[in-house]
Amino acid sequence: MPSSQVAVLAGLGSWLPPRVVGNDEIAQRLDTSDEWIRTRTGITERRVVDPGTSTVDLAVEAGRRALASAGESAADAVVLATSTADQLCPASAPQVASELGLNGVAAFDVNAVCSGFVYGLATGAGLIAAGIARRVLVIGADVFTSLVDPEDRGTVPIFGDGAGAVLLRAGDADELGALGAFDLHSEGELAELLWVEAGGAKNRRSDDPRDHYLVMQGQTVFRHACARMAESARAVLDAAGWQVGDIDRFIGHQANIRILQTCAKQLGLAEDVMYSNIEKVGNTSAASIPIALADAAKDGTLQPGHRVVMGAFGAGLTWGSTLLRWPEVIPG
């Protein structure tokens, strides 16, 4: 395969669990209110899995829809961005590939939490550029509510469950849908700002059940998220030779409406350029960007030829961005 081949977005799909949990339902059992949640996060409802539904289940459905969107039934590799794999070992991607009928293909997980989908795109693009694969299914899927303390009013209202996926194919840099520059970073010394302490090799079991739930230092995370997402977006714009005014749509990680608004202000973006669907889905971690892409394509916000920047920030700390000109794609 020619070394000039790049990754082109050819298919798009998303899937949300059917159960809707509104703010009033949360307010009935926690010391909060619909107004408090909406004004601080922009969220009115989120989707939550029913018992027995797993990350693999969500990923398979989103992956199936992305393949159908592209008119394909096969891929050479599956990259699953998730921080809620169905088990600690092995990775969940091989099971996703198997259930999609993609037996024998390369399949592995990428855990960069809320930045996972952007990291997954970079990984898929690298597989294509290296000639290892011609078609890569990149899925972002999380059952993030499984990591949230059900008694914590600071995190329960924020997170929801879901999955989104894209099929990347080998193509040319001048095509619509061709992924452009990537900008990826991490800052591990700040991991404790947003983490689950127990469950891994360092602290496999803890007598304190709170150690198995997400801890988030919200205000500090907010400041880092706004600054890092804006910096990263500028980096990919510079690499592509684009100006801020060239951006038709910014699809950011749907963490909090105020983060998106502050990032837009720091970049000097017009209000209608920064897309958000957080009101209806909440923060779905690695799934948030592909779900937002699918929603924006379905409602006509994204049009072929639009110059689109995608940016994310998450635990790790991790953050990153990429860009493309939007292709003609009908999401599944």
User: According to the model, what pLDDT value does residue 326 have?
Assistant: 98
Is 116's pLDDT higher than 50? yes
User: According to the model, what pLDDT value does residue 3 have?
Assistant: 53
310-325 mean pLDDT: 97
Q: Given 111, 253, 256, 263, which residue is catalytic?
A: 253
CA contacts within 13 A on the Cβ side of 70: 26
Strand partners, 275: 251
pTM given for the model: 0.97
pLDDT digits (tens, 9 = 90+) for 264-282: 999 999 989 999 999 999 9
227-235 mean pLDDT: 97
Q: Please state, in angstroms and rounded to a whole number, the distance separating the CA atoms of residues 113 and 144.
A: 10
User: According to the model, what pLDDT value does residue 269 have?
Assistant: 95
Q: Given 111, 114, 256, 277, which residue is catalytic?
A: 114
86-110 mean pLDDT: 97
Reply yes or no on whether 185 is catalytic. Answer: no
Is 327's pLDDT higher than 60? yes
Where would I find the beta strands (DSSP E) of 144-188? Answer: 161-171, 182-186
Residues 6+ apart with CB under 8 A from 8: 168, 169, 170, 171, 172, 175, 177, 178, 179, 327
Q: Please state, in angstroms and rounded to a whole number, the distance separating the CA atoms of residues 195 and 221.
A: 11
pLDDT-based confidence at 2, cuts 50/70/90? very low
Is 304's pLDDT higher than 90? yes
Least confidently predicted of 166-175, 199-208, 306-315, 323-332 = 199-208
pLDDT digits (tens, 9 = 90+) for 241-265: 999 999 999 999 999 999 999 999 9
Strand partners, 11: 167
Residues 6+ apart with CB under 8 A from 84: 55, 142, 143, 144, 146, 147, 285
227-241 mean pLDDT: 97
Encode 228-244 in three state secondary structure.
Answer: HHHHHHHHHHHHHCCCH
Q: Given 23, 111, 256, 283, which residue is catalytic?
A: 283
pLDDT digits (tens, 9 = 90+) for 143-162: 999 999 999 999 999 999 99
Give the relative orientation of helices 34-41 and 257-267 as an angle to the nearest 10 degrees: 20
Reply yes or no on whether 253 is catalytic. Answer: yes
User: According to the model, what pLDDT value does residue 207 have?
Assistant: 80
Q: For residue 77, what are the CA distances in angstroms to 51, 129, 209, 331?
A: 29, 13, 37, 20
Q: Please state, in angstroms and rounded to a whole number, the distance separating the CA atoms of residues 284 and 292.
A: 10
Reply yes or no on whether 283 is catalytic. Answer: yes
Mean pLDDT computed over every residue of the chain = 96
